[in-house]
């Protein structure tokens, strides 16, 4: 027994094992059921690889054309949304940090609003806005990214802000400026390399959120990965679940990388 366990601040190994074990099993069962479902042979009870191999057959490209199209849409949306984060949000955050420290609270407040205004509420007001957007930009799938840029705002803000708070932005930029660097040089060679972790984390979390988005796309009658999955699930539930599982794995890998990038940075700072 460690000292911390003796004075009661930490659980014993047994307590920890029981809690984590029970919760872990309860959460693992549905995931296992999901994987098992992709191998099921109809309502029979046997298992088969057909659903997986079927994806690589020649007719799959035709049968699931809508789904592949939707995956393409979601990929484009993810890229454009990350673009909005990098071109609109990031420079604003750096600018506020350097020039308008008094506006920091205001910016934070704005960026947190999308948590309070859920997508299902936002979509009611987005419908009229998008009737104008369509007139200006056409009805390309990518235009939905304007709305997604707002959806990812709280997550992207938090990731970048954590990084901004951890480095001496003002000192770095003033040092560079006094050595004769212009603002563009300061941004490109001094600030961005230092903000790499935050920017990467913000981009990945944005991709994860966009890949999982359903509410806005479905109620604005757009097609993305999630709306297509729901559609496909009605005719071929196995394929829908396979793609849902793959999306889950992809998002898990993205977030694992964020965790890795974050902790390796912390270690470097400590040493």
Partner 1 sequence: MTVANAPALIKAGAGASPRRQPRSGFAKYLGLTPFAAYVLLFLAIPTALAVSTGFFTEDGALTFDNVAGLFAPNVLTAFGNSFFVSAVTAVIGAVVGALVCYALLGTKAEGALRTIIDSVSSVLAQFGGVMLAFVFIATLGNQGLVTKFLLEAFGVDLFANGPWLYQVPGLLVVYMFFQVPLMIITFMPALSGLKTTWAEANATLGGTPLTYWTRIAIPVLAPSFIGSLLLLFANAFSSYATAAALVSQGAPIVPLQIRGALVSETVLGRENMAGALALGMIVVMVVVMWGYSVLQSRTSRWQK
Residues 35-74 that bind partner 1 (CB under 8 A): 36-37, 43
Q: How far is the CB of 73 from partner 1 (least distance, A)?
A: 15
* Binding piece for partner 1, criterion CB under 8 A, among 70-78, 161-169, 181-189, 192-200: 181-189
Stretch that binds partner 1, among 6-14, 68-76, 157-165, 192-200 (CB under 8 A): 6-14
Which residue in 39, 68, 142, 214 binds partner 1 (CB under 8 A)? 214
Which phi and psi angles does 167 have, rounded to 5°?
-120, 150
Contact between 92 and partner 1 (CB under 8 A)?
Answer: yes
Considering the rule CB under 8 A, would residue 174 count as an interface residue with partner 1? Answer: yes
What is the distance between the alpha carbons of residues 160 and 175, in angstroms, rounded to a whole number?
22
What dihedral angle (degrees, nearest 10) is formed by the CA atoms of 52, 56, 58, 64? Answer: 70
Closest CA to 155 of 104, 213, 205, 220: 205
Which residue matches tokens 């369509």?
134
Beta-bridge mates of residue 40: 47
Taking the C-alpha atoms of residue 258 and residue 109, their distance in angstroms, rounded to an integer, is 24
**In whole angstroms, how close is the CB of 58 to partner 1 at the nearest point?**
26
CB 106 to partner 1: min, Å: 10
Residues sharing a CB contact under 8 Å with residue 54, sequence separation 6 or more, in sequence order: 60, 239
Kindly tell me which of 76 and 123 has the beta carbon lying closer to partner 1: 123
The correct pick among 67, 77, 82, 208 for binding partner 1 (CB under 8 A) is 208
Tokens representing 126?
């987005």
Is residue 12 classed as helix, strand or coil in its secondary structure?
coil
Burial tier of 99 (Cβ tally within 10 Å: 0-12, 13-18, 19+): exposed
- Count residues contacting partner 1 (CB under 8 A)? 94
Q: Which residue, 128 or 138, has its beta carbon nearer to partner 1?
A: 128
Give the footprint of partner 1 on residues 231-250 (CB under 8 A): 233, 237, 240-241, 244, 247-248
Cβ(151)–Cβ(121) under 8 Å?
A: no
State which of positions 102-161 bind partner 1 (CB under 8 A): 103, 110, 113-129, 146-147, 149-150, 153
Interface with partner 1, residue 212, by CB under 8 A: yes
């Amino acid at each position: 027994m460690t000292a911390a366990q003796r004075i009661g601040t930490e659980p014993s190994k047994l307590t920890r094992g029981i809690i984590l074990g029970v919760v872990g099993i309860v959460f693992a069962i549905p995931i296992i059921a999901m994987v098992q479902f992709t191998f099921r042979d109809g309502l029979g009870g046997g298992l088969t690889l057909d659903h997986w191999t079927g994806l690589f057959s020649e007719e799959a490209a035709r049968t699931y054309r809508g789904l592949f199209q939707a995956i393409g849409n979601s990929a484009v949306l993810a890229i454009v949304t990350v673009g909005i984060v990098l071109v609109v949000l990031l420079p604003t955050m750096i600018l506020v940090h350097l020039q308008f420290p008094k506006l920091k609270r205001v910016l934070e407040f704005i960026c947190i609003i999308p948590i309070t205004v859920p997508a299902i509420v936002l979509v009611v007001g987005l419908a009229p806005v998008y009737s104008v957007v369509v007139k200006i930009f056409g009805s390309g799938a990518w235009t939905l990214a304007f709305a997604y840029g707002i959806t990812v705002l709280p997550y992207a803000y938090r990731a970048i802000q954590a990084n901004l708070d951890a480095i001496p932005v003002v000192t770095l930029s003033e040092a560079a400026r006094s050595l004769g660097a212009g603002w563009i040089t300061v941004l490109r060679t001094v600030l961005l390399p230092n903000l790499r972790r935050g920017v990467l984390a913000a981009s990945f979390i944005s991709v994860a959120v966009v890949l999982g988005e359903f509410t806005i796309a479905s109620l604005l009658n757009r097609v993305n990965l999630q709306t297509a999955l729901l559609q496909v699930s009605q005719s071929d539930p196995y394929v829908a679940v396979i793609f849902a599982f793959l999306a889950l794995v992809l998002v898990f890998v993205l977030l694992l990388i964020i965790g890795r990038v974050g902790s390796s940075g912390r270690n470097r700072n400590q040493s």
